[in-house]
Structure 1
Amino acid sequence: MNLVSSVHETAQTKPQKIAYRFMGKDTTYAAFDLSVSLFASALKDLGVNEGDKVAFLLGNTPHYLISLYATMRIGATAVPINPLYTPDEISFILENSDAKVVIAIDQLLPLVEVASQTFPMIENFIVCEMGPDAGEKLATLADHIKTKVHAFTTLMKQAKPLSEIVTVDENESAVILYTSGTTGYPKGAMLSHKNIYSNARDVGDYLGFSENDRIVATLPLFHVFALTVVANAPLLKGATILLEPRFSPGDIFTLIREQKATVFAGVPTMYNFLYQYPEGKTEDFETIRLSISGGSSLPVSLLHDFEEKFQVRVSEGYGLSEASPVTCFNPLDRERVPGSIGTNIMNVENKIVNEMGEEVPVNEVGELIVRGPNVMIGYYKQPEETAAAIRDGWLYTGDLARRDENGYFYIVDRKKDMIIVGGFNVYPREVEEVLFSHRDIVEAAVVGIPDTNFGEEVHAYVVLKEGSKATEQTVHDFCAKRLAKYKVPKHIEFLKELPKNATGKILRRSLKNQIRS
């Protein structure tokens, strides 16, 4: 069994069950499966074969789900790309991944024109028309470039359903996900059919997903968190996905109320915006049985504030692209530990080790390593990077963590983000937790910058609530009462907002570059 076969089976047994809702329109599993078979046929007609790479520059629309499952149906490999990336970032991934076809939203037509001249190996571009004048612009573009450009809707109308589902070895790559590239160029994590199916299955089982669930999908689908938690796992369980093109607190509250959503998944930034939204009320979340947080650490103070305001339990987990992604989650059937990423999910093992790869004692900080059927095949065309990341079957995550006596894991920080002040380790998250507990602080990020005397010093960026009269000195004094002297930020800089990627994760590298400039 794989994801495509599972959706096809649901379409056969429960054809009228709603697979997803988008812009006020419901689509049944039968209709979704038909669209997948039509687009799979269209891709084959364009010469896409088993093992070929198909790049997506798509947002949270049905085009993404149809493209993903159609690509996997014919045994090709999907390469999701953040459509908000710069042309240079997109160009690198297209070239590195050996993409043969690109499927893009119509807003990227200028990029399609450039790419058609830059990447001759891309044989076809498929444009998903969303805007009212997209068809006209598409026709004009197609007239003067050599690469073939096709309209998504036209291909669907011309195709005949492809009844067969290509039998692919479970260890063949289904998806290549490029890491965010916090250091150097991004690496393409190859996830096999076994990887993504097993993680969707295990996450769905662990979180108790069922056909009665209605999952809010506002996390960007090109990101691994959304790929598994709000797309593949729900579809595997026959649930309904509520596709939301963009995140807006007001729209999310309306969607939950009107559609009686049962599951909300977001990153800490989303929870912060929802909490700060002045019109948000307790009853807005009354149908939600499960709130999931991932992507980065959720400040404990925000967790408590959100739960108190909306009377809902927020469960935090952990994952990374290379593990498809989920490895840990707070159990739903017993105590939830604030600040913890939870315990092993089914079929996945986590361990904390020292520099020698030896497991460390309880509550001692070390590197988190993972093994299970969800761990990637490796990095695309990077055997040395793969060998460094996967050793003796264990994936080395690069995250510093500890495990308590009850088997709960806690992320301390990214190994590369740790600040060393005069030989003492400072974990940015610890300082950020203190900053978040300040009543006037909405957002905070801590980075290390070079210091002549101590090697590094702690530098904090803070976003204040509107109308706050807090100063650098008052925030410094607040930290000094709660942190050892070497952990207290030497500099506190106030910003209107913090730089973030498409999933809401704060971009520490951008902040460091800002200091250098």
Structure 2
Amino acid sequence: MNLSSRLSQTVKEYGDKPAFIFEGTETSYSQLEGEINKFANRLRELGIKKGDHVAIILGNSPYFVISLYGALKVGATIIPVNPIYTPYEIAYIINNGDVKAVVTLDLLIPLLENLHERIQMIEHIIVCETPLSENKEELDITKLSIFHKMVSFTKLLSTSSSQFDGPVLEDEDVAVILYTSGTTGKPKGAMLTHKNLYSNAIDTANYLKISKNDVIVTALPMFHVFCLTVALNAPLMNGATLLIVPRFSPQVITHLIKTYHATLFAGVPTMYNFLLQYENASQEDVQTLRLCISGGASMPVALLKGFEQKYKVIVSEGYGLSEASPVTCFNPLDRPRKPGSIGTSIINVENKVVNELGEECQPNQVGELIVKGPNVMKGYYKMPEETAYTIRDGWLYTGDLARQDEEGYFYIVDRKKDMIIVGGYNVYPREVEEVIYSHRDVVEVAVLGVPDSNLGEAVKCFVVVKNNELTEELLIEYCKEHLAKYKVPGSIEFLEELPKNTTGKILRRALKQQILQK
């Protein structure tokens, strides 16, 4: 069984039921399958075959769902890409990921045009049309260098059959490559197989008791693995209905919950914080919710309690990582929830805390969290050494420090060394440092996270320069050219020199202490 075959089974059981609702329009499971099959047929006609790589550079929309499942049916490997990434970041992923075709918004055509010399391996650009707006540039596409590669998503579907007979999909075939920030400064492509994704989706759905009666608010970004499994694949496996939200806002979320009697909401702590601070909503607006799910970053206990007190709904915090498809833990629904805990191992997944020798720790002893199960990735794309280091004897070493109590509940004590989590997104200091180091007036830099009331953490930089005319504003603008918005430093502090030990290594601990003293 895989995501594609399971969805076909769901269609047979709940064909007339809404698979998703987008901007007030319902699409049934039968209609969705027809669109998926049309897309798959046209992909095959374009020459996309099993094993080819297709990048999806889209936000939350029906386009994403149809593209994802259509490409899966063909046997292609999907590479989801954050549409707000800079040209530098997108070009790296397309090149490193050996992408043959791209599905993207018409708004991003100018970006791809500027990159055309660096992404010449792309054979097809499938363009998803967005509504006309005042901000939309008038563009004569016939004059573009990439024009001959472009094809309309809508036209593709209008001239295709709704029946599709695809290739056999093996469990170990790579279905998705998720690029995660790497400690080396370059993103790593986590290869997730059909077995990885299906097992985690169905196990998560069953663990959270998702059924055909559920309506889930899909507001997390679909290109992110948290949404991909918990708020997209898992609900579709069991016949639930998605409320697809293009962009998060407390007003929109509470309105949708009340209007469509939503039963599940999945979000990162930042979303919960905005909902808590939103004054125009109360328990009455969200009374149909049976459960809220939190992940992507640790939720402060004060926020969790404040949200639950205001809206009178339980928040189940969990844990996951891209390399595990991603879910490994959730607070159970049939036992007491423990604030501050990521819960217990989900069905078919084993979590364990080990010391530096790989030996299992005693209860409440801190060690590294490692994971084993059918959800653990095949490896990193074209990175055998990184794969061998991360997966040992079948166990995925997360790099996160954790402890487990006597009742089997896990607690994250600290994150991967130096990693910053901004609004649920991972930011590795090395990646930001490399960009800043590339500025001609920078001598050295150290990047670390500082507390932020809205986003959980923000990126802060300590920089030594050789030209005192380089200001904080100029350097931040430079970063915006090379980094996604959430990776851009919120503040930059200029120092005469950075603290170092006797070997010349920068002492981040000293910088953190300096922040605490202010």
| TM bracket (short chain) | 0.7 to 0.9
2:38 and 2:164 in contact (8 A); partners too: no
- Distance of 1:371 and 1:510 partners within structure 2: 35
Deviation at residue 278 of structure 1 after TM alignment? 1.3
Partner of 1:163: 164
Deviation at residue 182 of structure 1 after TM alignment? 6.0
1:353 and 1:359 in contact (8 A); partners too: yes
Partner of 1:514: 492
- Distance of 2:376 and 2:488 partners within structure 1: 27
Partner of 2:464: none
1:142 and 1:149 in contact (8 A); partners too: no
Q: Letter of the 1:215 partner, please give it.
A: I
Partner of 1:302: 303
Matches within 5 A, 1:107-506: 107-132=107-132, 140-146=140-146, 147-181=148-182, 184-417=185-418, 460-463=450-453
Deviation at residue 117 of structure 1 after TM alignment? 3.1
Q: Letter of the 2:109 partner, please give it.
A: L
Q: Letter of the 2:77 partner, please give it.
A: T
* CA spacing shift, 1:506–1:404, aligned 2, 3 Å: farther
Q: Letter of the 1:291 partner, please give it.
A: C
Q: Larger deviation: 87-96 or 159-168? A: 159-168
Q: Once the two structures are superposed, what CA deviation does each residue of 1:434-480 show, in whole Å capped at 9, x if it has no partner?
A: xxxxxxxxxxx9x9xxxxxxxx999854549xxxxxxxxxxxxxxxx
Q: Find the residue that maps to 2:108 and give its secondary structure.
A: helix
Q: Once the two structures are superposed, what CA deviation does each residue of 1:348-381 show, in whole Å capped at 9, x if it has no partner?
A: 0001111111111110111100000000000000
2:418 and 2:448 in contact (8 A); partners too: no
- Distance of 2:449 and 2:213 partners within structure 1: 47
Partner of 1:9: 9
1:40 and 1:162 in contact (8 A); partners too: no
* CA spacing shift, 1:460–1:60, aligned 2, 3 Å: closer
- Distance of 1:364 and 1:457 partners within structure 2: 30
* CA spacing shift, 1:515–1:363, aligned 2, 3 Å: farther
* CA spacing shift, 1:305–1:182, aligned 2, 3 Å: farther
Give the TM-score, by structure 2 length: 0.81
Q: Letter of the 1:373 partner, please give it.
A: P
Percent identity between matched residues is 54
Partner of 2:28: 28
Q: Letter of the 2:78 partner, please give it.
A: A
* CA spacing shift, 1:3–1:516, aligned 2, 3 Å: farther
* CA spacing shift, 1:138–1:386, aligned 2, 3 Å: farther
- Distance of 1:120 and 1:272 partners within structure 2: 43
1:109 and 1:138 in contact (8 A); partners too: no
- Distance of 1:248 and 1:287 partners within structure 2: 19
Q: Larger deviation: 174-183 or 193-202? A: 174-183
- Distance of 1:348 and 1:54 partners within structure 2: 29
Compute the RMSD of aligned alpha carbons: 2.7
Matched, 1:41 2:19: no
- Distance of 2:417 and 2:15 partners within structure 1: 49
Q: Letter of the 1:108 partner, please give it.
A: L
- Distance of 1:122 and 1:41 partners within structure 2: 19
* CA spacing shift, 1:62–1:516, aligned 2, 3 Å: farther
Q: Letter of the 2:229 partner, please give it.
A: T
* CA spacing shift, 1:394–1:510, aligned 2, 3 Å: farther
* CA spacing shift, 1:257–1:124, aligned 2, 3 Å: same
How many equivalent pairs are there? 445
Matches within 5 A, 1:88-103: 88-103=88-103
Deviation at residue 183 of structure 1 after TM alignment? 5.1
* CA spacing shift, 1:506–1:155, aligned 2, 3 Å: closer
1:142 and 1:148 in contact (8 A); partners too: no
Q: Letter of the 1:29 partner, please give it.
A: Y
Q: Which has the higher contact order (CA 8 A, sep 6+)?
A: 2
- Distance of 1:347 and 1:142 partners within structure 2: 53
- Distance of 2:29 and 2:55 partners within structure 1: 24
Q: Letter of the 2:353 partner, please give it.
A: I
- Distance of 2:25 and 2:151 partners within structure 1: 25
Q: Find the residue that maps to 2:82 and give its secondary structure.
A: coil
Q: Find the residue that maps to 1:361 and give its secondary structure.
A: coil
Q: Once the two structures are superposed, what CA deviation does each residue of 1:284-314 show, in whole Å capped at 9, x if it has no partner?
A: 2100001000000000000011100100111
Q: Which runs of 5+ in 1 are unaligned?
A: 419-427, 430-444, 448-455, 465-500
Deviation at residue 116 of structure 1 after TM alignment? 2.9
Q: Larger deviation: 358-367 or 110-119? A: 110-119
- Distance of 1:61 and 1:102 partners within structure 2: 16
Partner of 1:439: none
Q: Letter of the 1:117 partner, please give it.
A: E
2:40 and 2:164 in contact (8 A); partners too: no
Q: Find the residue that maps to 1:118 and give its secondary structure.
A: coil
- Distance of 1:294 and 1:158 partners within structure 2: 41
- Distance of 2:339 and 2:494 partners within structure 1: 35
Q: Find the residue that maps to 1:165 and give its secondary structure.
A: coil
Q: Once the two structures are superposed, what CA deviation does each residue of 1:51-89 show, in whole Å capped at 9, x if it has no partner?
A: 000001100000000000001101000000000111101
1:55 and 1:102 in contact (8 A); partners too: yes
- Distance of 1:132 and 1:457 partners within structure 2: 40
* CA spacing shift, 1:108–1:307, aligned 2, 3 Å: same
2:95 and 2:119 in contact (8 A); partners too: yes
Q: Letter of the 1:337 partner, please give it.
A: K
Moved over 3 A (4+): 136-139, 180-183, 456-464, 505-511
* CA spacing shift, 1:463–1:202, aligned 2, 3 Å: closer
Q: Letter of the 1:92 partner, please give it.
A: Y
2:106 and 2:128 in contact (8 A); partners too: yes
- Distance of 2:308 and 2:485 partners within structure 1: 23
